[in-house]
Structure 1
């Protein structure tokens, strides 16, 4: 159990049989009445956002999430196959279980698979990945780093906005949290 006074961004709790992660919180102590905690919660599985108010000091069950380091080994039809780095057991996950970050998933990449009650509820990719540009408009002499952006397709099929000077065959670093270009590698 965890007290609402201990809520912080990233804390996972159980509500109505589902896992919710505290995205934002605010302790409010009005002049009249008792204090309360206003939170913004995100469903770990579906991504749905919910605003909920708790009494100050109210206890709720804390979700026991288990993170296991796994390596993406290959794609089997529509499923992605991951190998546990300790036990060498394989798990098959669908694109919906992985989420929208599947577009950055590359064979050999290590990820954290999140489990709750022996059920896989998500996959956490590294914050940044290095991928090769396979398609983009050619760079023109005079294009600068601050001159604008253009779309580029990387080896996993994801589309990212990159500076005008990036050309096909270059390896770039991408932030997987917000799909932004971080630099050349």
Structure 2
């Protein structure tokens, strides 16, 4: 589907310069002289490189729709991750760098969503929040309990986060997988 260059929105996937790109940030600019344009920061879905481009309203780009499919995470072998299609039980192996830092949150049997283009997996979407256990938490500094101060802690998957002072080692917490932030204590 063709769209005007000024209609690009964050999250859109476009075909540009022979590759697939996701719009990360946009800024509409209307200079005093000349026509308005959209300044767009793009991220290549294949190799991860970034690019900044200007699109005028007269330019058109091809907007791409990705198919999403439910998969289940099975296991890691070296730097490859194995996922299983929940409909037909086919297994797919993907490099762990496709997930980046979020790969640490993968848990056996976790339901994930794979974004695919022409049956080729491009990205993996984890659940927004996961449950993890605190394996190491710093002691509370006396006098800081009155303020809303946070202290560093280590999760069982090796990720460091900031938690409220009342959270101690052995506590199960809910963590946001996109921001690495403490959400709440697990029930």
- Mark yes or no: TM-score above 0.5: yes
Measure the CA separation in 2 of the matches of 1:147 and 1:2.
Answer: 47
Measure the CA separation in 1 of the matches of 2:86 and 2:145.
Answer: 43
Alignment partner, residue 7 of structure 1: 8
**Does structure 2 retain, via aligned residues, the 8 Å contact 1:28–1:38?**
yes
Deviates further, 59-68 or 170-179: 59-68
Q: Cα distance, 1:6 vs. partner? A: 2.1
Measure the CA separation in 2 of the matches of 1:174 and 1:47.
Answer: 25
Spell out the pairing of 1:3-82 with structure 2 (5 A cutoff): 3-82=4-83
**Does structure 2 retain, via aligned residues, the 8 Å contact 1:139–1:167?**
no
1:145–1:181 distance in 2 versus 1, CA, 3 Å: farther
Question: Aligned-residue CA RMSD in angstroms?
Answer: 2.4
Measure the CA separation in 1 of the matches of 2:143 and 2:37.
Answer: 57
Q: Cα distance, 1:46 vs. partner? A: 4.2
1:5–1:147 distance in 2 versus 1, CA, 3 Å: closer
TM-score, normalised on structure 1? 0.85
Q: Which runs of 5+ in 1 are unaligned?
A: none
Q: Cα distance, 1:89 vs. partner? A: 0.9
TM-score, normalised on structure 2? 0.85
**Does structure 2 retain, via aligned residues, the 8 Å contact 1:131–1:173?**
yes
DSSP-derived class of the 1:86 partner: coil
Q: Which runs of 5+ in 2 are unaligned?
A: none
1:113-172 Cα shifts (integer Å, max 9, x gaps): 122233222211122111111222356888748453332222222222222221122111
Measure the CA separation in 2 of the matches of 1:64 and 1:23.
Answer: 16
1:81-125 Cα shifts (integer Å, max 9, x gaps): 111111111111221122221011111211111222332222111
Alignment partner, residue 150 of structure 2: 149
1:39-82 Cα shifts (integer Å, max 9, x gaps): 22222344433221112042112223222111112223432211
The number of aligned residues is 185
